[in-house]
Structure 1
Amino acid sequence: MVDMDADWPLPRPINFFKESRRPADSPTPDADSIASTFSSLAAPVVAEAVRRARELSTNCDAEGFHQLRVAFRKLRALYWAYSPYLGEEATAHATEEFKRLAAVAGGTRDWDIAGDLLKAAQASRASMGILVAAAKEKRAQAVAHSQTMIKCDDVESFLNDVLLRAQMQLESSCNDLPIRDFAEDRVRRAERALKKRSRYASRNETAHEEDLHDVRKAGKKLRYLLEFFQPVIKGGHDRTIKELTSVQNKLGLFNDIAASETLIRSASFDDVPPEVVQESLQWLEKQKCRRMRAAARRVRTIAG
């Protein structure tokens, strides 16, 4: 992973992307260029990320961590869309940091999900209570880690700087290029990537976890791009977004269990008997197999 602090010192906030709304008399997106549309799409996502980062110091609500992670994922998708004009190096620098910040924010969310699953297991296995308590402690540690690693001023400074650099690059290379053809091309590429991933995951009767995870990521990218570019691309895409959301929900249920199983396997629980941990893993494995079959069926519909 690139060391952003070493290779790209962060300046003080310049407030270029402060929370704001598009003026009522501003041009509609379909009249804008590739360069001007970038800032209008990025600004609300940046504002959301900064707001959520600010709230972390006083609020450890699960939804806050989740929405912060989503904001960074959306920025990664947006950078992928504009990467032909931003360049490989600039895109890699930004997206690696988006990915790191999303992972830090996601640690708390992951323990929230694992804790909820263990509580469900506890309903039929009273011995699981000690592991539920241990997961709650792990969640508290994840909150402390996130609060230490994600400082609002640093996040705002980084986002202001990296997006201003992107804006300047776009204005110098494609300020007069219309947005529609570009947006439609990037969406088509994301659609082809999702179809390819889905067909690959469906090649065997038994799906693999990694392949389903790749389909989930490709589906998220496409959904985010459709949400970003819907005002400027031809045809209504509400139905496609709705279908993608449904598929994502099904894949998400499977991913939650698979990720929780990995999380518990990799964690150390000093005060939890090994047999209790093993019992939880056996329960999660059964749930995972059931969810995997349901997820694989949805993926086959995409592949077809």
Structure 2
Amino acid sequence: MPGEEPHAESTFSALATPLIDEALARVAAIHADASPESLHQLRVALRRLRSLWWAYRPMLDKEENARQRALYRYLADAAGRERDWDIFLELLAGDEDSPRDVPPCLREAREQALAASRETLINADIRNVLHSALASTSKELNAAPERHALQKFAAKRVRAAERSLRKTLRGASHAKRFDHEALRDVRKAGKKVRYLREFFGPMLDDDGHGHTLAHLEKLQQCSANSTT
């Protein structure tokens, strides 16, 4: 009916389709040239997909949703191997004031990681994987007997992501020493918040969200050089 509020279930496909198109465009770029940047962009696209499936988790079969998100994580990790090596090598090399030699064997390992990433992703049949996930998830949502107002659903899931971020922030702030993994977890939780706000932005009331995002932006700037 005209003017009827959209439902979260019927909106899923419209949200997921452009993300899948973006991921497949990145896959095509890797087939042509598996540069570090093209791999990184695919990693970002897959993380965004994983965040969307997380947002819809309460409406989906738990086991199937966990399987889909684990698959996106596996593919994103494959795409990120080279970038993780680059950060590691950069830390080993030190800065301009105190440079250090990096063993050639480590640089060779980085090249091997790049080659392995390209092989894994090219052989993964990502096109069929993503289209199958979209079809099965859309079918499940459209067959659900209950309908959820999109605005209420979006606000609830963003709040859940923000609670997770605040919990992760508290854990990182209580660390007794520099904790690389804790900072990495903070950035991952923060990215999830940002992605969900990008998905659902037009439906959200900004009250209560601005402070969290401002704090997140400052923290991400501080940890950008030490995490992926």
Report the equivalent of 1:228.
Answer: 199
Is the partner of 1:230 in helix, strand or coil? Answer: helix
Report the equivalent of 1:148.
Answer: 119
Give the Å deviation of 1:136.
3.4
The within-5 A match list for 1:96-135 is 96-121=70-95, 124-125=98-99, 128=101, 131=103, 133-135=104-106
Contact 2:87 2:226 in 1 (8 A): no
Give the Å deviation of 1:70.
1.0
| C-alpha distance in structure 1 between counterparts of 2:34 and 2:94, whole Å | 22
The within-5 A match list for 1:188-267 is 188-206=159-177, 208-235=179-206, 241=213, 243-255=215-227
Which deviates the most, 215-224 or 196-205?
Answer: 196-205
Q: Percent identity among equivalent residues? A: 38
Report the equivalent of 1:54.
Answer: 28
- TM-score of the superposition, structure 1-length normalised? 0.66
| C-alpha distance in structure 1 between counterparts of 2:167 and 2:210, whole Å | 22
| C-alpha distance in structure 1 between counterparts of 2:43 and 2:201, whole Å | 22
The structure 1 residue matched to 2:154, chosen from 164, 183, 188, is 183
Give the Å deviation of 1:119.
4.6
Matched residue type, 1:224: Y
Give the Å deviation of 1:207.
5.1
The structure 2 residue matched to 1:83, chosen from 41, 45, 57, is 57
| C-alpha distance in structure 2 between counterparts of 1:205 and 1:194, whole Å | 19
Gaps of 5+ in 1: 1-26, 257-304
Is the partner of 2:184 in helix, strand or coil? Answer: helix
Give the Å deviation of 1:219.
1.4
Is the partner of 2:141 in helix, strand or coil? Answer: helix
| C-alpha distance in structure 1 between counterparts of 2:179 and 2:89, whole Å | 25
Contact 2:93 2:99 in 1 (8 A): no
The structure 1 residue matched to 2:69, chosen from 87, 90, 95, is 95
Give the Å deviation of 1:88.
0.7
Report the equivalent of 1:14.
Answer: none
Q: Does 1:138 align with 2:109?
A: yes
Contact 2:34 2:118 in 1 (8 A): no
Contact 2:9 2:142 in 1 (8 A): yes
Matched residue type, 1:45: L
| C-alpha distance in structure 1 between counterparts of 2:189 and 2:15, whole Å | 20
Gaps of 5+ in 2: none
- TM-score of the superposition, structure 2-length normalised? 0.85
| Alignment CA distance shift 1:152-1:217 (3 Å) | same
Matched residue type, 1:235: D
| Alignment CA distance shift 1:201-1:218 (3 Å) | same
| C-alpha RMSD over aligned residues | 2.8
| C-alpha distance in structure 2 between counterparts of 1:115 and 1:80, whole Å | 32
| C-alpha distance in structure 2 between counterparts of 1:192 and 1:232, whole Å | 19
| Alignment CA distance shift 1:96-1:137 (3 Å) | same
Larger radius of gyration: 1
Give the Å deviation of 1:195.
1.4
Size of the alignment, in residue pairs?
Answer: 226
